[in-house]
Structure 1
Amino acid sequence: MNVGELVAIDVHTHCEVGRDGHGSLSPELLGASAAYFGSGGPRQPTVDETAAYYRERRMAAVIFTVDAEHATGHRRIPNEEVADACATHDDVLIPFASIDPHRGRAGVREARRLVRDHGVRGFKFHPSLQGFAPDDRMAYPLYEAIEELGVPALFHTGQTGIGAGVPGGGGVRLRYSNPMLVDDVAVDFPGLTIILAHPSFPWQDEALAVATHKPLVHIDLSGWSPKYFPPQLVRYANTLLKDKVMFGSDYPVLTPDRWLADFAALDIKPDVRPRILKDNAARLLGLTDDGAR
């Protein structure tokens, strides 16, 4: 990976379809997300298609699936499959994994194996979809392993399009994605690098408070067009959090093309813009021009 030649690093993209065509979520939940974002349907790109898409744009991308098997009963996509596919595209793709905390000790063993044997560079949690509060002690052994492995944990925060409009929201409980619940994680695991995903509606101020107070808590800007960012998020991104805020799209539900076009019109200081688009992510992920950490 030649970081110097990259236009940007997208820290939030999804692979939600396996080699066999199996999706990580039910068609009902994926369809609700597509309708929420107006993305034209539930079809999800493969890892190979995502790599080609980002390579064409001279961007790198963090990519992951979501393991919500306990709460949804829907079989997950194997993390090994995603990571091994990324290994063939290591010029543009950075693999994260997703482990449902309900997997207990088996999940802890899997996390260690994925980093050691499959090159995984971080872990994605979606508390609302996975059906757990981030400060639930059930998840602490997994956080402890991730902290020891020295890789980041990325938490979905705020509202989600998954289940939107489905009766009962498809069983998705929004309260689990309040960033204040992640504050406890940051306290109890002070060496764990944390990324709060998305503008955290309706808890934007809470996310800003946690990120300014806890040294290793960062924010990605995925899932929203920048033209809809709350004013306080833009203000903090330009000042106190200029080294802790990162570009993310939420591809494929929001494309980097759309995100970057709207970001160009945002009132961001010239010296802050490259930090958000690439520099902060490169530093957090420990990327060098040969892709090593």
Structure 2
Amino acid sequence: MRAIDMHCHIPTEEGLRPFAPFQAATSGYYKMSERERAIPAADFARMVCSHEVRAVLVSVAAESATGQPGTSNDHIAELVAAHPEAFIAGYACVDPWRGQAALAEIERAVKVLGLRGVKFHPIIQAFAPNDSRFYPIYELCSSLGVPIQFHTGMTGVGLGMKGSRIHLKYGHPLALDDVAADFPNLCIVACHASWPWQDEMLMVLLHKPNVYNELSGWSPRYFSAALKREIAGRLQDKFLFGSDYPALTYERLFADWENGGYAPEILEKVFYRNAQRLFGF
């Protein structure tokens, strides 16, 4: 195994469904027109395996904010069960605005479907992670012992679109500092490099022992000098590999990571050892 991908979207028809209103903008931002079409699950699994990767499948449920149905957690669980050689785990996607129904779905996803975490995209879902109205979600995840992933920083979703109703403020990583302080036993994973707030993200990582950073969706070529220094230095146990596929390809990411000047032992930690230690993969 070359890497554990902590952030892999699902390029099936159902997996792409939540992003349909934003497809043109997102494809343009990531220059991914050749990867924007749905493919069969078996082909997806073969592609992941061909790169010696095992992926954590994620998606989003944002119907309250966008009107677009999300990916079902049953679909995520079925893919993991059908292709364990490619997919090491699945994370539940839940609409945070659904109140008690959201809590019930998290419990079902973890206890019945066997999903191993929960993923939120606060920008698309239009919510502030540190809004106390969502604290029951964190209480439940903490009691279940499952991590939560939060999108942070810029998003290509809705970029350049009039009327997209996308508010970037919800991606600020400082909101996660509040959540980490109030739920010290909850494992929090900030997704992406948090640009343009990379320094703020590093501050939270340094201060909060229960916060980690998965670096998908952003080529290592464009990491800030401070981020590169921390990956190789005092925060080396806090970073996780992710692709954000289909936004970025494994070919590009592995080349950029391996040409980044990192020692082999640092790459091993980022690629898979940190994930194995934290999540028992």
The bucket for the TM-score relative to the shorter chain is: over 0.9
Picking from 203, 214, 224, the partner of 1:209 is: 203
Superposed displacement of residue 48, structure 1: 3.2
1:139-150 pair list within 5 angstroms: 139-150=134-145
Which secondary structure state, in structure 2, belongs to the residue aligned with residue 263 of structure 1? helix
1:270 has 2:264 as partner: yes
The reply on whether 1:13 has 2:8 as its aligned counterpart is yes
Tell me how far 1:221 sits from its aligned partner.
1.0
Residues 1:196 and 2:190 aligned together: yes
Does the CA contact (< 8 Å) of 1:101 and 1:138 recur in 2?
Answer: no
Q: Classify 1:244/1:177 alpha carbon distance in 2 versus 1 (closer, same or farther; 3 Å).
A: same
- CA apart distance, 1:46: 4.8
Q: Which residue of 2 aligns with 1:245?
A: 239
Q: Where does residue 173 of structure 2 map in the other structure? A: 179
Q: Compute the displacement of 1:284 (Å).
A: 1.7
Q: Which amino acid aligns with 1:286?
A: G
User: Is the Cα contact below 8 Å between 1:48 and 1:85 reproduced in 2?
Assistant: no
- Whether 1:34 and 2:50 are equivalent positions in the alignment is no
User: Matches of 2:231 and 2:42 in 1, distance apart?
Assistant: 33
Per the normalisation by structure 1, the TM-score is 0.91
Percent sequence identity is 41
Q: 2:122: which partner in 1?
A: 127
Per-residue deviation, residues 24-62 of structure 1 (Å, max 9, x unmatched): 223x40221110011115324454332211112221001
- The residue correspondences of 1:35-74 to structure 2 (distance < 5 A) are 35-40=28-33, 42-74=36-68
Distance 1:223 1:63, change over 3 A: same
Deviations 1:123-149 (A, max 9, x none): 111001000000011211111111111
Structure 1: how far apart are the matches of 2:181 and 2:16? 38
> How far off is 1:23 after superposition?
1.1
Distance 1:238 1:178 in 2: 24
What is the SS of the residue equivalent to 1:171? coil
Show the counterpart of 1:111: 106
Q: Could you say what the CA RMSD is over the residues aligned between the two structures, in angstroms?
A: 1.5
**1:186-217, Cα deviation, whole Å (9 max, x unpaired):** 01111111111111111100100101111111
Q: What TM-score do you get using the length of structure 2 for normalisation?
A: 0.95
User: Using the alignment, how far apart are the partners of 2:188 and 2:241 within structure 1?
Assistant: 15
- Give the letter for the 1:181 counterpart: A
Q: Kindly indicate whether the alpha-carbon contact (under 8 Å) linking 2:11 and 2:246 is maintained by their aligned counterparts in 1.
A: no
User: Could you list the runs of 5+ residues in structure 2 that have no partner in the other structure?
Assistant: none
Contact 1:16 1:77 in 2 (8 A): no
